Structure 1
C-alpha cells in the first residue's frame, strides 16, 4: 500500500470538508466548511507538487475569499442586538422578513412620534408614502363611514400595491408612533431584491386580508 506524503492528506481533508458543507442548510455553516475545503485544497495545490498548480490555486483562493466575505455579510445580517426597542418591535411585527431583509428596509425608513393627531392619508388623494403604525389607535374614514382600528398595521398598502390614490382617510391618535417609507425609494429597493419584494408582498396582502376580515 503506497505511503501518503503529508501534503497528500490535504486533498482528502479538503474533500471531507466539502462533503460536510452539503449537510447544512444554514448558510454560515455551509460556507464555513466550503471555505475550509478550498483552503485545504489551496495548500495541496501549493505543497504537493514540485511547482505549485497556479491555475487551480487561483480559483480555490477566489472561492475562499468569496465564502469568507459572504460569511461576514451573513453574520452582520444575523446580528440584531443593536436594534432599538422600537426597531425590534417593528421587526417582530414584520414576521416574514429575515434579519437581513429587515435591515435593508430599516435603512430607508423614517420614524415618527407625535403627541397630536396626524392625517396620514386622504381618500382619493395621491399618496407617496407607505406607513406602518406601531402605537396609537387609527381612525379610518371611507365613503362617509368612520371606524377605529388598533395599531400594528400598514397604512397606504393598497395605494402602494396598485400605484393609485389613497382609498381612505386615515388619522392617528393623539399620541402615536409610526414608520414611513417613500414609495419611490421602496419600489427601487424591492426591484433590486426579489426575495424582499416577495416577503413584502406577502406582508401587505396579509395585512389587507386582516382588515377585510375585521371590517
Structure 2
C-alpha cells in the first residue's frame, strides 16, 4: 500500500517546447509511452466504502531513450486507487491510497470479471513520461480508441505524480501509533516532491488539484 500525491494541468500550445526542455534538464530519465487504461467497477458510487470500488488495468508500451538506443517494454499492471482525501483537508493536492502490482500471466479482463467487477470505461494516453526519484511527470493527449482522439485533440495534459510507501492504521492499538506517524511522514514527503516539480515548471504551467473520474 502506498500514498499517491498528484496535481494536473493543461500545457499551453506555445509553451510545449519550453516545458519539454525544462523537464529534460531537471529529471533523470524520459520515455515515450502509449497506454491503455481500462476501469472496472463493482457497485454504484453511493455504495462505496472507505476504499474506492474502482480497479484500473493499465497496459503500457514504453520506449526508453538511452544512449541512442530504443528499448521497448510492454506490460500490464493492476492499480487500485482509494478514496481521495477531501478537498478541505488537501486543497492543493489530490492525495489517496494506492495499491499496484504487475500482471505476469493471464487475462486481466477475465480476472476482474471473476471478482464481480464490470467494465466502466476505457481510454488511451499517448505522450512522454519524465522521472525524477519517486516523481513521474506525464505530458500526454487522450484518445477514445488507439487512433481516435477525444473532442479536444489539440490539448496536451500534464500530471505530476509522486507515489511513496505508506502504512495504514485503523485505530490506536499498540504499535499503530508508529504506523500513523509513518503515514503522515510519507504524505509529507509526497507533497514536498510534487511541490518541488511544480516550482520547476513555475511560469509555464498552472497546476493544481483535479478531481478524479
**Smaller-chain TM-score bracket:** under 0.3
> Which is helix-richer, 1 or 2?
1
**TM-score, scaled to structure 2:** 0.21
More strand by share: 2
Larger radius of gyration: 1
